[in-house]
Amino acid sequence: MPVPLGRRGVRYTFASMDTAAGVGARFQFSSDQSLLVYFDQLKEQGRARARPQQSQITLQANEKVRRLLRLLESEPVAGVRNLHPAYCSLLVKFDALRLRHEEVEAILRGYLERLDEVSLPEPRLVEIPVCYGGEFGADLAEVCAMSGITAAQAIEMHVSVEYLVYFLGFVPGFAYLGELPEALVTPRLATPRRKVPAGSVGIAGNQTGVYPFATPGGWRLIGRTPVAMFRAEREGLSMLTIGDRVRFAPISAERFAALEKEWA
């Protein structure tokens, strides 16, 4: 079972929440036209709606998210307008003049009972070439200093793992990948950058990811890929899809330049 990685004040922990009945679902009012389904476990605080003291993310909860998403995509509910999956939750947006929250919840409960029937697609393995350090990975040296490792070790660790795409969020094509080897677990920057170059590979907590566009960002940058992560003209648009597996492959600056031309 994965061990909690919540060291140095990192927000996210992966831990098992296996119970006989599996991970239960919880519904939460989000807005007048949306509700959240959580696959997590509230730690009992003695109060009915106590805030979870330690939120937990698990592979199991995320798998439920992916199953529910797939079921809702293959059998759409009339009046449901959008779905925003995340680590252990799914935001369901709907036409509030057509459906009430209670109705959406009742329909979703029916879907939840059938989650075991859902077959998830065979995960694709996507390799992403990365040029680490230097101008492409402005925070690599600091990450190494914080963890007491060399740049070569950090790169070796980052490429050693086959990551899971937990979900896409934030901006088009931004994949939340987990989980990082423990020695690379590093908090976000105290002050986010106003603009992170497109293709930047960052780490935050026990997550890693690639910025598809030049956006503001608080993750620590360790490298950059020349590959376009989201392109309007490409079928599927996004390089990565929820549930994919990802490996990073180190490349030289020369190779980066050559690939960048190919992708331009």
Partner 1 sequence: MGVIQVQEPGLFTTVQDLGREGFGAMGVSASGAADAISLRLGNRLVGNDEGAAGLEMTLLGGTFIFPEGALLALTGSDFGAALDGQPVELWSSFEVKAEQSLRLGPTRTGARCYLCVRGGIEARLFLGSASTHILSGLGGHEGRALRKEDALKIAAESRVIHERRMTARSLKELQPRKVLRVTEGPQSDWFPESARRLFYESRYRVAEESNRMGIRLEGAVIPLPSSGDMISEGVSLGAIQVPEGGKPIVLFVEQQTTGGYPKIANVISADFHSLGQLRPRDEIRFERVDSETARALLREQKEFLASEELLFE
Cα–Cα dist 27/7, whole Å: 30
Residue with tokens 């956006």: 215
| Min dist. Cβ of residue 185 to partner 1 (A) | 16
Segment near partner 1 (CB under 8 A); pick from 92-100, 114-122, 135-143, 252-260: 92-100
Segment near partner 1 (CB under 8 A); pick from 94-102, 118-126, 136-144, 153-161: 94-102
Does residue number 12 form part of the binding site for partner 1 (CB under 8 A)? Answer: yes
Structure tokens at 247: 């490996």
Which among 62, 44, 64 has a CA at the least distance from the CA of 53?
44
Give the residue, chosen from 39, 174, 248, 256, that forms a contact with partner 1 under the rule CB under 8 A.
174
Cα–Cα dist 96/93, whole Å: 9
Does residue number 4 form part of the binding site for partner 1 (CB under 8 A)? Answer: no
Does residue number 51 form part of the binding site for partner 1 (CB under 8 A)? Answer: yes
CB closer to partner 1, 107 vs 165: 165
Does residue number 219 form part of the binding site for partner 1 (CB under 8 A)? Answer: no
CB closer to partner 1, 31 vs 160: 31
Does residue number 101 form part of the binding site for partner 1 (CB under 8 A)? Answer: yes
Does residue number 90 form part of the binding site for partner 1 (CB under 8 A)? Answer: yes
Which among 61, 58, 243, 217 has a CA at the least distance from the CA of 138?
217
Residue with tokens 């030049």: 214
Give the residue, chosen from 39, 87, 136, 163, that forms a contact with partner 1 under the rule CB under 8 A.
87
- Contacts of 190-194 with CB under 8 Å at 24 or more apart are 191/218, 192/216, 192/217, 192/218, 193/217, 193/218
Bridge partner list, 125: 245
Q: How far is CA 180 from the centre of its chain?
A: 12
Helical spans, DSSP H, in the chain = 59-74, 101-113, 140-147, 151-160, 253-263
CB closer to partner 1, 21 vs 48: 48
Cα–Cα dist 264/242, whole Å: 25
Touching partner 1, residues 14-33 (CB under 8 A): 28-33
Does residue number 246 form part of the binding site for partner 1 (CB under 8 A)? Answer: no
Give the residue, chosen from 8, 18, 19, 52, that forms a contact with partner 1 under the rule CB under 8 A.
52
Binding site for partner 1 (CB under 8 A): 11-12, 28-34, 36, 38, 40, 49, 51-55, 57, 69, 73, 81-91, 93, 96-97, 100-101, 167-174, 176, 212-213, 215, 230, 232, 237-238, 242
